[in-house]
Every structure is written in C-alpha cells, then in structure tokens.
C-alpha cells in the first residue's frame, strides 16, 4: 500500500507538475531587462491521499538579486507508518520572463532510502556539473532548457504572456544528465473548490503512456496562473491530490 504513495510523492515534488520550448514564441521586452511577471510568493498546499489529508506542500519564489531568484518546493507527508520529507530548490536567472537554470538541488528523507542530488549548469558553455559525484559532463543544451523544478516557473510566465496557448513542450535535464521533453496539453476550464476558496482555473494534462500515468494540473488566472490543484492517476487508480490552502504574495 505504501509503494503507490511513494511514487506519487516523487511526482508531486518534481511534478506536475515543461513549457520553456513552447510551440509559440514568447513576447519580448524592448528594454531587454530582468523584468518578471510573477512576484515573489509563498503558497501552501494540502496533500490528499484517498480523500484524506496526509501532509502539506510549500512552493516559494524568493528574489536573491537583480535577475536571480530561488524557486523551491517542499513536501512533508505522514501516512500510517510512512513518512516522507522532500525539498527541491532551483536557482535561476530571469531575463524578459525567460528562465535560465543555474543550480538544482533535491533531498529526500523518511521511510526507506534517503536520496539527494545537486547540479550546477553553465548553459552558455554547454556544461553541467554533478556536485555530489564531482563530475562534469558536456551537454548540448536546447533552447530554453529547464531543470526538474524551474520549468514550473517558466510555465507560469508562458501562461501570463500567452493565455491562449494550448500546447506546451519543455526540454528538461534530469538528475541523470539526460534531457527529456515534458509535454502538456490544454484540457478545458473549470471552477474548483479548494481550502483556499472557489477559483476559476485552466486545466492542463500530461500523459506518460509507457508508465500509464496521467497528471492534471489547474492554474488560476486570478492568481497569475499559480498552480492551485494537482491530481494524478496511474493505471486509472488515483494516486494523490494537492490543493491550494493559502498564498502570500510579496509587495
């Protein structure tokens, strides 16, 4: 019973859940400065398994300096004898609402084997460095490459710049050093009732056919397309749900 939840938490922490190489171009800023459409924020989520709350998640964007931000997501879950605490952090540069990842870190502790990984990226030089194993590799980075967390932020910026877009493809570098395309499709609009309240949201779908996994993600225009709900199934069996509880936006 614990294994399905373990896998769903893994997706939740990196999930939901690839928009940097989208099918339509992003608008550019004529001043070519480090503007960003999304303000720093802290959002808290309730994580649900089999209709019962089992933990919480926190998504946060913090400004470090003029064009550098730290984007992070943590989950803390306890269910029966199972516990799982995960943290993902991505340090990125933002220019004209386009994300360039420079540092990615992931840690996991709890029931079972602990895990961690850390990478730095020099996109201009096509270099990725595995900090944990002290190994540097050459990577032919495609345009608008993202790490396993930064693409979530790029997604919000893409939606803000082009809310009519229906198809999204993100090249994402994994902790193995390999690059995979994450594909999302528009799946309609809904009003969703959350601990936060009733919000109107657009719904996107990601399907990984070989793993029989489908993820649905809801983004609220009234909250600058913040992720407000996440739901996953695997083999038609519900895995987890995350619902927005509170959000604080910095002035």
Q: How far apart are CA 195 and CA 7, in angstroms?
A: 24
Q: How far apart are CA 195 and CA 30, in angstroms?
A: 40
pTM of the predicted protein model: 0.83
- pLDDT tens by residue, 48-107: 988 899 999 999 999 999 899 999 999 999 988 899 999 999 999 999 889 999 999 999
CA neighbor of 20 nearest in space, from 151, 142, 124, 149: 151
Per-domain residue ranges of the chain: 2-249
For residue 23, what is the enclosing H or E element? Answer: none
Q: How far apart are CA 97 and CA 36, in angstroms?
A: 5
- pLDDT tens by residue, 103-129: 999 999 999 999 999 999 999 999 999
The CATH fold of domain 2-249: YmcC-like fold (2.40.360)
Q: What is the DSSP string of 123-178?
A: TTTTEEEETTTTEEEE--PPTT-B-TTHHHHHHHHHHHH-TT--EEEEEEE-TTS-
Q: What is the DSSP letter of 207?
A: E
Q: How far apart are CA 15 and CA 152, in angstroms?
A: 8
Structure tokens at 84: 């799982």
């Amino acid at each position: 019973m614990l294994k399905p939840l373990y896998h769903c938490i893994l997706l939740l922490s990196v999930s939901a859940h690839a928009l940097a190489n989208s099918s339509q171009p992003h608008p550019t800023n004529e001043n070519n400065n480090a503007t960003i459409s999304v303000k720093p924020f802290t959002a808290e989520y309730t994580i649900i398994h089999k209709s019962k709350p089992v933990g919480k998640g926190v998504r946060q964007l913090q400004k470090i300096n003029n064009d550098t931000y730290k984007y992070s997501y943590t989950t803390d879950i306890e269910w029966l004898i199972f516990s799982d605490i995960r943290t993902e952090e991505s340090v990125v540069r933002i220019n004209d609402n386009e994300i360039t990842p420079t540092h990615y870190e992931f840690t996991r502790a709890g029931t079972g084997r602990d895990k961690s990984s850390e990478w730095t990226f020099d996109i201009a030089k096509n270099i990725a460095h595995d900090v944990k194993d002290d190994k540097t590799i050459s990577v032919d980075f495609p345009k608008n490459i993202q790490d396993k967390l930064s693409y979530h932020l790029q997604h919000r910026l893409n939606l803000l710049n082009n809310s009519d877009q229906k198809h999204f493809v993100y090249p994402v570098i994994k902790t193995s050093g390999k690059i995979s395309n994450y594909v999302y499709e528009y799946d309609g609009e809904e009003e969703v009732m959350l601990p936060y309240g009733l919000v109107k949201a657009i719904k996107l779908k990601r399907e990984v056919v070989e793993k029989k996994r489908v993820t649905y993600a809801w983004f609220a225009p009234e909250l600058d397309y913040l992720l407000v709900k996440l739901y996953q199934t695997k083999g038609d069996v519900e895995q987890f749900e995350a619902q927005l509880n509170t959000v604080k936006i910095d002035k």
